[in-house]
Amino acid sequence: MRHTLVPAHVIGHGPAQAFSQTVTIDAGTSSGVHADLTVLNNEGLVGRVIAATRTTATVLLLLDRDSVVGGRLGSSMEVGFLQGRGELSGDATLDLKLLDSAFVANEGDTAVTFGSEDGAPYIAGVPIGKVTAVYSSPRETSRRVEIRPFVDFTALDLVGVAVPSGTRSDRGLVKPGASAAKEEGR
């Protein structure tokens, strides 16, 4: 399934519903945005839409403790699940628990999303971050890998919401392989 991006600006930070790390964006259902869509920026994965009104949407950030994303390590394609720690800072990290407890990740490996059925809530192949440390102990049944996200969550502004191609929107959409200037007819 091909996707198109709905451009949006972050207009608010703060907790929403039962989550602690969310932002509000200025695109909603009139722009084709609804729950369970991937949100990214030019650095990588930001999170997923959890609710939308006609003009705004709430995005659960990747950093939230209740955020869990399936990921792969780029060099080996090993699969695991990334979970936020609830921290919003320049030093925020994620935990990646690999399914193969015998596999040892390498510092510097890149993690990307492995995607969800029909791309909801996550499309495949979106960069998440780099491995900064690997931990294991005799009590753990799997290794824990520390990931530093590519996205600077303290400076979020312009984001894109991945919607299925053909989505109707009240704003200009960015299509795969097209620049934003080209889409606006410049």
Among 132-146, 152-166, 170-184, top mean pLDDT goes to 152-166
**pLDDT for the residue numbered 122:** 92
Cα dist from 164 to 1, 3, 6, 50, 82, whole Å: 7, 5, 10, 17, 24
Say how many Å lie between the first and final Cα of the chain, rounded. 28
Cα dist from 35 to 13, 53, 68, 88, whole Å: 18, 10, 16, 23
**pLDDT for the residue numbered 117:** 80
Q: Tens digit of pLDDT for each residue in 96-140? A: 888 877 777 888 899 999 888 877 899 999 999 999 988 766 666
The more confident residue out of 171 and 141 is: 171
Q: Tens digit of pLDDT for each residue in 49-98? A: 999 999 999 999 999 999 999 999 977 888 889 998 888 777 889 998 88
Report the distance separating Cα 92 and Cα 84, nearest Å. 9
Indicate the pTM of the whole model. 0.86
